Amino acid sequence: MPARTQAALQGVGAVETAPADPPPCHVAVIMDGNGRWAAARGLPRVAGHRAGAQAVRRIVETAIRHGVSWITLYAFSSENWRRPAGEVLDLTGLLRHYLRNEVSELKREGVRLRFIGDRDRFDADIVADLARAEADTAGNTRLNLTLALSYGGRAEIVAAARAAAAAVRAGTLDPDAIDEAGFASLLSTSSMPDPDLIIRTSGEQRLSNFLLWQSAYAELLFLDVLWPDFGPAHFAKAMAEYARRERRFGARPA
């Protein structure tokens, strides 16, 4: 981890610092470390996933206080289907519980819920719950919360390329007219701004197939804290670190 990032994050405790000004519009989080958190306590992995769900609730509340408009959470990757069947069953069971017990609170808090990824791989009742949650919160504007479920960045890009190829074959798209903006409109995130900041917990330093197109100029922050332990103070310190960054988007400083 860069020295300036380590310095910025030293002394993270229970006290939340003042929000950074201005905050990033869109924060994306790779929520990593649930299994290690559980193993360190001699608990089954599902206990770590349950603790991770509690961390989601804390961070949604904290993001609202900091004035962040968009939060995207990497909740279940396309590769997670390869995990042992019992763990996949636990994860989908937690998702089912979340959708049926937490959405009403999100609606009351003004949170709009969205989902990206291949939802058709889930059971039919979960697919219906996903659609219902999106419809029930569609009018909210306080925070846009997106959960990436059965999501993979490469698969998303391939799907967009197929859509573009189909439009060219149908004669509705001139291949010479394809540009970055047009291609981005074919992605599942077309209605969302690109992330300004991507946080990954647990100390791992890679994107793991998350928002590969959208992260081209995102600031990256890797934290040595397991996701279930991530709290308001860590979020506040991340906002402060973001405020110190100079975003150039490929240009020279003024």
Q: What's the pLDDT band for 18 if we cut at 50, 70, 90?
A: low
Mean pLDDT over all residues of the chain?
Answer: 92
Q: Is 28 helix (H, G, I), strand (E, B) or coil?
A: strand
| Residue with more model confidence, 182 or 8 | 182
Is residue 17 over pLDDT 90? no
> Residues 44-86: pLDDT tens digits?
999 999 999 999 999 999 999 999 999 999 999 999 999 999 9
pLDDT at 246: 84
pLDDT at 16: 61
Nearest to 209 by CA among 41, 40, 68, 32: 32
The residue ranges of every structural domain in the chain are: 23-150+195-244
Is residue 216 over pLDDT 50? yes
> What's the mean pLDDT in 5-26?
61
pLDDT at 22: 87
Q: What's the pLDDT band for 212 if we cut at 50, 70, 90?
A: very high
In degrees, rounded to 5, the angle at the alpha carbon of residue 109 between the alpha carbons of residues 104 and 112 is 75
Q: What's the pLDDT band for 247 if we cut at 50, 70, 90?
A: confident
Is residue 15 over pLDDT 90? no
> What's the mean pLDDT in 195-201?
98
Buried b (16+ CB within 10 A) or exposed e, 119-158: eeebeeebeebbeebeeebeebeebbbbbbbbbbbeebee
CATH label, 23-150+195-244, candidates 3.30.70.20, 3.40.50.2300, 3.40.50.1220, 3.40.1180.10:
3.40.1180.10
Separation between Cα atoms, residue 214 and residue 195, nearest integer Å: 7
Residue 117's region, left for phi above 0, alpha for psi from -120 to 50, else beta, is left
Active site residues: 32, 80
pLDDT at 10: 44
- Would you give the end-to-end CA distance of the chain in angstroms? 27
> What's the mean pLDDT in 181-191?
97
Separation between Cα atoms, residue 248 and residue 254, nearest integer Å: 9
Residue 192: Cβ within 10 Å count:
18
H or E segment and range at residue 148: strand 143-151
pLDDT at 4: 42
The alpha carbon of 199 is separated from its chain's Cα centroid by a whole number of angstroms, namely 9
